[in-house]
Structure 1
Amino acid sequence: MTAVEQEINSLTPPNPLLLPKSRRGFLQAGALAGFAASVAPTGALQAQTITTSAEGLDHGMVQMGASNDQFPGYFAKPKGKKGLATVIVLHEIFGVHEHIKDVCRRFAQKGFMAVAPECFHRQGDPSKYTSIPDLFANIVSKASDKQVLGDVRAAMAWAASNGGDKNKAGVTGFCWGGRIVWLAAAEIKEMKGGVAWYGRIRTTVNEANPIHPIDIAEKLQWPVLGLYGGADSGIPNSDVDEMKTLLSFGSKPSQASEIILYPDTPHAFHADYRPSYRKNPAEDGWKRCLAWFEKTLV
């Protein structure tokens, strides 16, 4: 089984879960054939989905990047504040949808500026896809690491010009975005810390994605907190263990990094809009995430 097939399996529930569709703008659930990117939460999913107030915040969609290559993103920050520690929030394979925006508001309510760049802006709209394999083939696989890291830098620059402190910048990411966090730790020296939520440690190597995060584990320029599920079908525990070992022999930031493995916990355990959500690991991970950024950025 290839790395991509493992990731698809980890994102696809073992039993069909069919929910009525409405235009909510983000993924809620899916069937074995794939996911629909615009279904509304009902029943238990609706009860567990977190909605964070925007009261007291400046927030919304904006354009960022160079004048000849602008792209959209979402930001949230305490209203009228400047000089804020900044967290770049990297989305899953589904793009910047309502859950990612809500995560930004959660950071902002804790005093951070949060910016979520839409890293698939050149490839297309993930919400138009109802099949994960098609989404991988047509969108995800075409977003190169070089392009995405450039988007992260552009998001940092936008934040620094709009209330963020360029000397207090970090990054967090979920699933696909979690992998990018590890790469950024080796490539973007201007940042101070990162939190990778169940980001793949090994993946399919190709022209767009030429290295594994595990290949640069010993070369980090700032510390990363990794949050992983012990029952993630797409990320073997052996990969997590190997990553821990390599970090321990690496640079000072690599050695200062930490990985938490939650037993019996699946992929996407923080995604409260999906059946994979696990309340206890998600809440513990969020507390650790905030503490990590308080330590490394503030």
Structure 2
Amino acid sequence: MLVKDSDLDSPVPGLPLSRRTFAGTSLAAGFAAAVRPALGQSVIQTSAEGLKAGDIAVRGGDGIPVRAYWVQPLGKGPFPTVLVVSEIFGLHEYIRDICRRLARQGYQAIAPNVFQRQGDPSTVSSVAEIQSGIVARVPDLQVLGDLDACAAWAAANGGDPGRLGITGFCWGGRIAWLYAAHNPQLRAAVAWYGRLDGVSTENTPRHPVDLAASIYAPVLGLYGGKDQAIPLADVETLREGLARAGRRAELVVYPEAGHAFHADYRPSYRSDDAMDGWRRMLAWFRSHQL
């Protein structure tokens, strides 16, 4: 089934376990519940016709050129910019389509290849091997630096530096939370089923539940009530921490959704919840002048 671009902004009615030890087998089970097709081909296919789009290279925080996919509307702008952070499967067609969908809504969208120094997930068939051989080797600081570099590139190439947002999916959802605690210029963030807690390592020293009091930008978190990878207890822990700290945030749980309910190339996709989440994301961005 091909879903039209215009369908993505239609309003659909929606519904507003222990720490550290859950991240191992349960997280792997959540990812493995819907192994992706090799190319991540979206059910929703958004044309680049009438948009400016292409592959670019952005000099990362460590000086290494980082490949990225960039899309924006025609015209000079400046356009509000949304950084898009991928799942563990990298910069494949689904993430590129997300960028085009955002451009259709008037945004400049940039998705960096945050795994390129550590490997190419598209060449690895095992989820466990992607996690251990590539993702676990990626330092949070490296990713945050690459996102800063993309934000700077955007500001110099048609983006409005005063209107910067971020969204991320799964692994990228966690990064969206981290970036909201990293960049004080960020206007708004939307995290799709991003992991909230886990084992602290040299590469991942802190997690969203540790950063509730440090969040700069308002964050919308979208989660599945039946997500095997993210316990609802973590969602509630973060919700309470954000409330205590007086931070602007909204956490939405879709009761029947599992992990990756927006990933329309995986069996976990739930169209009603995905479209409602997309509508909420756009409304969140617009309500925070993005």
TM over 0.5, yes or no? yes
Aligned residue for 1:55? 49
Amino acid at match of 1:189: P
Which residue of 45, 52, 59 corresponds with 1:65? 59
Deviation (angstroms), 1:36: 5.9
- SS of 1:187's partner is coil
Contact kept, 8 Å, 1:170 with 1:192, in 2: the verdict is yes
Amino acid at match of 2:180: A
Deviation (angstroms), 1:241: 1.1
Which residue of 13, 24, 31 corresponds with 1:4? 24
Matches within 5 A, 1:205-220: 205-220=200-215
> What is the rounded CA distance, in whole Å, between the counterparts of 1:259 and 1:234 in structure 2?
17
Aligned residue for 2:288? 296
> What is the rounded CA distance, in whole Å, between the counterparts of 1:186 and 1:11 in structure 2?
25
Deviation (angstroms), 1:39: 6.9
Contact kept, 8 Å, 2:37 with 2:266, in 1: the verdict is no
Contact kept, 8 Å, 2:193 with 2:221, in 1: the verdict is yes
Contact kept, 8 Å, 2:40 with 2:265, in 1: the verdict is no
Are positions 1:114 and 2:109 aligned together?
yes
Deviation (angstroms), 1:2: 4.8
> What is the rounded CA distance, in whole Å, between the counterparts of 1:122 and 1:87 in structure 2?
23
Higher relative contact order, chain-length normalized (CA < 8 Å, sep 6+): 2
> What is the rounded CA distance, in whole Å, between the counterparts of 2:112 and 2:50 in structure 1?
22
> What is the rounded CA distance, in whole Å, between the counterparts of 1:89 and 1:101 in structure 2?
9
Deviation (angstroms), 1:246: 0.9
Unaligned runs of 5+ in 2: 1-20
The alignment's TM-score, normalised by the length of structure 1, stands at 0.87
Which residue of 96, 104, 113 corresponds with 1:101? 96
Aligned residue for 1:43? none
Report percent identity of matched pairs: 46
Amino acid at match of 2:58: M
Contact kept, 8 Å, 1:3 with 1:204, in 2: the verdict is yes
> What is the rounded CA distance, in whole Å, between the counterparts of 1:296 and 1:273 in structure 2?
30
Deviation (angstroms), 1:185: 1.0
Aligned residue for 2:257? 265
- SS of 2:82's partner is strand
Aligned residue for 1:140? 135
Amino acid at match of 2:249: S
Q: Do the aligned partners of residues 64 and 234 (structure 1) sit closer, same or farther apart at CA in structure 2, a change above 3 Å counting?
A: same
Q: How big is each residue's C-alpha offset from its partner over 1:165-204, in whole Å with a ceiling of 9 and x where there is no partner?
A: 1110010000000001111111111111100000001122
Q: Could you say what the CA RMSD is over the residues aligned between the two structures, in angstroms?
A: 1.6
Which ranges of 4 or more aligned residues in structure 1 deviate by more than 2 Å?
Answer: 35-40
- SS of 1:170's partner is strand
Amino acid at match of 2:186: M
- SS of 2:55's partner is strand
Are positions 1:168 and 2:163 aligned together?
yes
> What is the rounded CA distance, in whole Å, between the counterparts of 1:4 and 1:102 in structure 2?
30
Matches within 5 A, 1:1-298: 2-13=22-33, 30=35, 37-38=38-39, 49-66=43-60, 68-251=63-246, 254=247, 256-298=248-290
> What is the rounded CA distance, in whole Å, between the counterparts of 1:4 and 1:297 in structure 2?
38
Contact kept, 8 Å, 1:37 with 1:94, in 2: the verdict is no
Aligned residue for 2:17? none
- SS of 1:89's partner is strand
Deviation (angstroms), 1:107: 0.4
Deviation (angstroms), 1:74: 0.3
Deviation (angstroms), 1:78: 0.2
Q: Do the aligned partners of residues 197 and 98 (structure 1) sit closer, same or farther apart at CA in structure 2, a change above 3 Å counting?
A: same
Q: Do the aligned partners of residues 79 and 245 (structure 1) sit closer, same or farther apart at CA in structure 2, a change above 3 Å counting?
A: same
Q: How big is each residue's C-alpha offset from its partner over 1:117-140, in whole Å with a ceiling of 9 and x where there is no partner?
A: 110011011100000111111110
Contact kept, 8 Å, 2:85 with 2:112, in 1: the verdict is yes
- SS of 1:3's partner is coil
Unaligned runs of 5+ in 1: 14-28, 41-45
